[in-house]
Amino acid sequence: MELSLLGFINLIISLNMEYQKIILMLIVTSICVYWIFFLPFEWKERYSLHAGKESILRNDTKRLTINRFRKAKQHSSNKMPPPYPNGEQLVVYRTQNNKVFIVDAYCPHLGANLGVGGRVDGDCIVCPFHQWSFRGSDGKCAKIPYSASVPRSAQVKSWTSQEINGFIFVWYHVDSTEKPWSLPLTINDDQFIYHGRNEFFVNCHIREIPENGADNIHFNSIHNECFMSGKMGKSSKFFQYCHHKWNSSWIPSKNYKHFAEIKLSHALQIFGKFYCFRMDISGLQVGPAYVCMEINSSIFGTFRIYQTITPIEPLLQKVIHRFYGPRWLAPFMKIFILGESIMFQRDVTIWNHKDLLQNPVLAKEDTSIKKFRMWYSQFYTSNSKSLTDEAISIW
């Protein structure tokens, strides 16, 4: 390989200047084409209270969490709805047969964390401390290498999960009698490929983020300025004649109680007269933290976005958007991901500094927000942990 590469370099050097320029242009063009059409575009928003990585965030999680609890207590006159998650410590692993299992993290033998130093053996996860093996399907201990018998109580909890669209979902309900439901809209079409993602950490209650879909007024309030103007609060004279115009609606689904439907129409208005880049967006809100969106454009065809919200702490959420579409749409998708990321930053700015009001003063045009909160309340029961309970469990 080294000889062939060296020979190729010597060949280029031996050519005259004109041929060298042509070859260099071809190499640069090939790299650019490969990046545009085959490499996903990723946008990661750094956590606002830390300049470090997510691992640093986890190491300092208690102090930051308590600070957020204190802030919530000082500024919220009403009781907050229960947060997510509920203090569960889980291990997610994949077998050689590509099966995903989720079990409780701690071994019932002497409490070792199965996710730190543990290994996968068939469908089992093996404890790093004394090599006890636990099946992912039911959590039961399948083998103790130094014993001929396995205690009946040797078992970790196994969690119901589903993997779709590059995400692994775990079913959680505080009441164990509730039956899990399936998730819709799996990418099974060869024309849809993964184009990239963005990732944000948001300081707010988990309900605040999906509530945005039902806040019809906010679209033309903070998302009207051209995305090229940047984050909220920044104005650009160059793009002052370019605005995004939105029409939206939100209604609970008639088919499934845990679904809600979002409809959006978008157009880019130029000089107050001309409209272009029209798009129709159909969104399906599934449960408390998952949204599937399909965008249809007469120019660019159809592509999809999947949003998930993963609770890191009761008042800290990680939001990810994944983007899928045809391969030929790759150049546009990179611009679209950039634009969507900037637009979402504007929402994050609001969430990071707002207060959660349980009984807000609403205008008659805000009825969809009230409907959303009634719909969202189904994901809580009388047994759901309060914010105070969660604070105690973290300590």
CA torsion through residues 228, 234, 235, 236, sign = negative
Which residue is associated with the tokens 């709805």?
81
Structure-token match 């470090």, residue found: 52
276 CB burial (10 A radius; 0-12, 13-18, 19+):
exposed
Report the C-alpha gap between 83 and 387 in whole angstroms.
6
| 311, β-bridge pairs | 317
* β-bridge mates for residue 120, sequence order: 125
Q: Are 132 and 122 in contact (CB under 8 A)?
A: no
**Average of pLDDT values for 111-136?**
97
Backbone φ and ψ for 137, nearest 5 degrees, come out as -70, -40
Chosen CATH of 39-55+184-387 out of 3.90.380.10, 3.40.50.10310, 3.40.366.10, 3.10.440.10: 3.90.380.10
Could you tell me if 9 and 1 are in contact, meaning their C-beta atoms sit under 8 angstroms apart?
A: no
Bridge partners of 252? 260
Work out the pLDDT band at 260, boundaries 50, 70, 90: very high
Choice among 15-19, 90-94, 168-172, 283-287 with the minimum mean pLDDT = 15-19
Mean pLDDT across 78-91: 72
The predicted pLDDT at position 54 comes to: 45
pLDDT, tens digit (0-9, with 9 covering 90-100), for 266-320: 999 988 888 888 999 999 999 999 999 999 998 889 999 999 999 888 788 999 9
Report pLDDT digits (tens) over 18-65. 766 777 788 888 888 888 888 898 888 765 444 334 444 444 555 555
Helices (H), 251-394: 330-353, 367-376, 387-394
Q: Report the CATH fold assignment for 89-171.
A: Rieske Iron-sulfur Protein (2.102.10)
Mean pLDDT, rounded, for 197-203: 94
Q: Where are the domains of the chain?
A: 39-55+184-387, 89-171
Read off the pLDDT band of 115 (50, 70, 90): very high
- Give the model's pLDDT for residue 94: 96
- Residue 79: pLDDT band (50, 70, 90) is low
Query: Which helix (H) or strand (E) segment is 306 a member of?
Result: strand 301-313
